[in-house]
Structure 1
Amino acid sequence: MSGLTFRKRAEPDQRIDLAALIPSRLAGLTIAQIASLPIGTTRWLVTVGDLFDVSGDDPAQLRFEGGSQRFDRIGEGLDGGEIHVEGDAGWRIGRVMSGGRLTVTGSAGGFAGSAMSGGELRIEGDAGDFLGGPLAGEMAGMSGGTIRVGGAAGERAADRMRRGTIVVAGALGANAASRMIAGTLIAGGRAAGVPGRMMKRGTLILPGGVERLSPTFLDNGPADLLILKLMARDIAAGPAGPVPFDGAPMRRLGGDTAVLGMGEIFLPL
């Protein structure tokens, strides 16, 4: 058996909703049935067969040969199996996923990994705003799983994050980890804005430094903690891959004391 392959014929002229194309929803369908699924977002009908050449017979492994910034909701609700996208992806990829693996070789739009509770999301390029964050009106963002970004992330990454791990190799946009409830966010580049504002618990490891910090964080001074060494080793050995710190001593700040105040930010000495 070979995985299902979706080969893009041309760039779409409207945004495309690909939420239906996950292993659990495609199991038992024929190629013809898959090709007839509607994926358009305007009054003009677009089906899978209009945009893709479909081949293969194993829905547990999906492959998109050719991505697009207009391909929204890839892997939304993914609960098992694997999806691989060659190229860019649009908004809400991997949203509410609970298992499986989703890989994008290019960049992704906003709300990637939004409210995900499990699984592995890997974006080799940049990620948009609200990485792992909630949609408007939702009370919590990411609650489990792992996100790895090979480039930079946009504003408000890990907003309302409750659990899980996010590793960003590059810089963070403004106000990362705002309203964070728990979980771990690690970034190799500089964090813009005021990271950690209104965070209750959780851990930010920012070896690239920060633009500025809220005055409601308390400087605890240099910290040579065994947990930093263990985190560097264990996270690097897991699905998140290499991390931009090695467990050496860092400066620790506690907060945000404007709320519960049990979070922590680690910065270079």
Structure 2
Amino acid sequence: MTGLTFTLRNEPPQRVDLSALTPDRLAGKSAAEIEAIDIGTTRSTIKVGDVFKVETGDVKTTRYEGGSSRFDLIGAKLLPGFSIHVEGAVGAQLGRLAKGGRITVTGSAGPYVASGNLGAEIEIKGDAGDFLAGPLAGELAGMAGGRVIVRGAAGARAGDRLRRGIIVIEGDAGEDLGARLIAGTIFVLGKTGGRIGYLNKRGSIVLSKGQCFGPTYLDCGAHDLTFARLFARSLKADSPAAAELLSHKLRRYGGDTAVYGKGEILTPV
């Protein structure tokens, strides 16, 4: 049985909220019932059927055939055991507060990808916007579990207030990478700009060679870390390049000493 499929009819005239289209909420609904769901974000009403042609199927596997930067909140509160695939781009807050499952996007994503993610695995084959895995205004923590792989670049403040989980950015990262990091691990294989690990409490940031960061990180010497090699094995299937970073002897910088100083930045020797 094929999965539930949303085929793009037209680019929506406004941003649309697709949080109601998670698989568990659509179970048992007919195509007509799904197409009648309101997804508008302005005073102008817009229904699912105005944007998508719906083909019912196994809700455990949901597909979007065609994407848009106006598609917000895809996979919000996704539950374990379900998967969502988007053939194209997506908008803001992809995988917001997801509890599990898997989300893949072939294009790029907007800001706040995986904000509040608790356990989902998210793969973006393009770029990600600002505040990757970061909290919304007023929230105390960002992503609290799961794994995010970005094959392209990420915007500013990636990993802001990360609480738990793994972020891999295979391209470049914007300014203030890992700002206010609480815990968890961030990999960046490309270049970074601006402050790195500002006010990092207990998190780990793994960078490629030649990166510059502030004086509040102290050189703790080069180490051959057994845990890093074990960690590399778990990453190899998702990101061979990130796993390769951990296979080298690593130089450890402890910080941010402006706060607890129990975090770290690791770079290959």
Q: TM-score, normalised by structure 2?
A: 0.96
Shift of 1:246: 4.3
Report percent identity of matched pairs: 52
1:258–1:141 CA distance, 2 compared to 1 (3 A): same
Deviations along 1:139-196, whole A, 9 cap, x unmatched? 0011100100000111111111111111111111111111111101011101211110
Distance in 1 of aligned mates of 2:107 and 2:198: 30
Shift of 1:4: 0.8
8 Å CA contact 1:191, 1:208 repeated in 2: no
Shift of 1:35: 0.5
Partner of 2:50: 50
Paired residues for 1:1-269 under 5 Å: 1-80=1-80, 81-210=82-211, 212-237=212-237, 240-244=238-242, 245-269=245-269
Distance in 2 of aligned mates of 1:226 and 1:115: 31
Tell me the SS of whatever aligns to 2:19: coil
Task: Supply the RMSD in Å over aligned alpha carbons.
Answer: 1.2
Shift of 1:208: 4.7
8 Å CA contact 1:199, 1:255 repeated in 2: yes
**Moved beyond 4 Å, runs of 4+:** none
Deviations along 1:78-135, whole A, 9 cap, x unmatched? 1131100000000001010011111100000000000101021110000001111100
Q: TM-score, normalised by structure 1?
A: 0.96
Amino acid at match of 1:36: A
Distance in 1 of aligned mates of 2:225 and 2:59: 45
Distance in 2 of aligned mates of 1:209 and 1:9: 47
Amino acid at match of 1:127: A
8 Å CA contact 2:95, 2:120 repeated in 1: no
